[in-house]
Chains A and B, each alone.
Chain A
């Protein structure tokens, strides 16, 4: 396979059985490579936006543990970590899976694990340090696990402010720090409680599914929760529902789904992939639809052009959708039945980019050489 060139768009697909890389100069025709890490699950992988060159993959072997691997030649060679993140002996916990990997502000790399833990590396994933104030947060022994396990699946650094970060844990909720991880606080107020008619307080455990910052104003965060879709800006004391026009999960009267994606440069524009409900995690009616808001969540429109409208009985997992940095933006969606659909016009229309992959765990994007 030809090596990607500077300026190419890269799409990374982590799957239940390995990692696949795609690249394109025009986002119309794509070249692929992989699978890498055959047989292992890659729940998340990124192209480091700081250099546009290093691919980090969170590789979980159910037998042999979870590590981070990196490649600086787009998969021609990999450096696999000798060890992965570890909890302390005193904790009684052991890392089983890595769910998320994110580049920090400077040279650091963050990993989110199962059981829920946040770890920091300053050597490209070779060694890891526990973020103890979160990992041994008072009351963590009572954190409830979600259906996928007690996992830390979302890490949102704050561009321009290395002391701030949000993280999401299923199903223990949202935590924020503004002192570089030395202390954390719960941030769940305003989310529906599972009890009918009740609303969560700031310290209630909630089942956050995914969050995304608005790149044009990182103080604004969008969230897909188990029970609803929300928006919250820094300084606000609660999450606000943004659900007009969305299909509802009949169990809770709230939209259900997993991904949340912000447009790379259009303020107030975000994308979700609603499912029929938590008891039936498929596209509603077997017809695939992505929903887009262009006004910060005041209303949503349904996008279907080019997407399968019958027999689409799959799920889009929490990291299964991403945007690229293009203008118009590319939006990419991976399914649990192994398809990747791509749009190169902000989601107005879609084409099949890949088919017959293993179950897609994550889709990420980047530009070779950096944006």
Chain B
């Protein structure tokens, strides 16, 4: 249990499910978006690396939403979560 944590529902894009043993969604206890990724990384080795860069920021082409609101522009540790929030991790529409 993360101190100050809440029950958070997280959805994962198809590209990341292979790193989450096939799960398309998981429930975690977390207080911030950074906590969410830390919990993921502990449960699913390699998953956190694919979401955050070396500085703990969302990778350039990774987006995060809390419920329907984009938080991609924020530092993950600054994204405060509330009990029952749903966090969506999505890749940018980029590349070709």
Contacts and interface: CB of A to CB of B under 8 A. Distances in A.
A237 B43 CA distance: 54
A82 B45 contact: yes
A94 B46 contact: no
Interface in B46-71: 46, 49-51, 53-57, 59-62
A63 B19 CA distance: 14
B16 A64 contact: yes
Given A63-B91, A63-B94, A63-B95, A86 B54 contact: yes
Given A83-B46, A96-B60, A63 B92 contact: yes
A96 B57 CA distance: 13
B49 A83 contact: yes
A62 B94 contact: yes
B91 A65 contact: no
B50 to A, nearest CB: 4
Contacts of B46: 80-83
Interface in A78-103: 80-84, 86-89, 91-96
A62 B61 contact: yes
Contact of B54 (A64, A80, A93): A93
Nearest to A96: B60
Nearest to A41: B95
B15 interface: yes
For chain B, what secondary structure do more than half of its interface residues adopt (helix, strand, loop), or is it mixed? loop
A95 B94 contact: no
Interface string A20-49: 000000000000000000010000000000
Interface in A51-90: 61-65, 67, 80-84, 86-89
A63 B61 contact: yes
A93 B59 CA distance: 12
Most buried by A among B15, B55, B57: B55
Contacts of B56: 89
A34 B57 CA distance: 33
B54 A63 contact: no
A67 B49 CA distance: 10
A95 B53 CA distance: 7
B45 A64 contact: no
Nearest to B53: A94
Given A62-B94, A63-B92, A84 B49 contact: yes
Nearest to B94: A62
Nearest to B61: A63
Contact of B49 (A62, A65, A87, A93): A65
Nearest to B46: A82
Contacts of B55: 89, 92-94
A65 B58 CA distance: 11
A30 B57 CA distance: 45
B54 A95 contact: yes
B61 to A, nearest CB: 5
Most buried by A among B53, B54, B57, B94: B54
Contact of A94 (B54, B62, B94, B95): B54
Interface in B1-25: 15-16
B53 to A, nearest CB: 4
Given A63-B59, A87-B54, A89-B55, 5 more contacts: A61-B50, A64-B51, A82-B49, A91-B54, A96-B53
18 contacts: A39-B95, A63-B50, A63-B59, A64-B16, A64-B51, A64-B91, A65-B49, A65-B53, A67-B49, A82-B46, A86-B54, A87-B54, A89-B54, A91-B54, A93-B55, A94-B54, A94-B55, A96-B60
Enumerate the 5 nearest inter-chain pairs by beta-carbon distance, A residue then B residue, closest first.
A82-B46, A94-B53, A94-B54, A64-B50, A83-B49
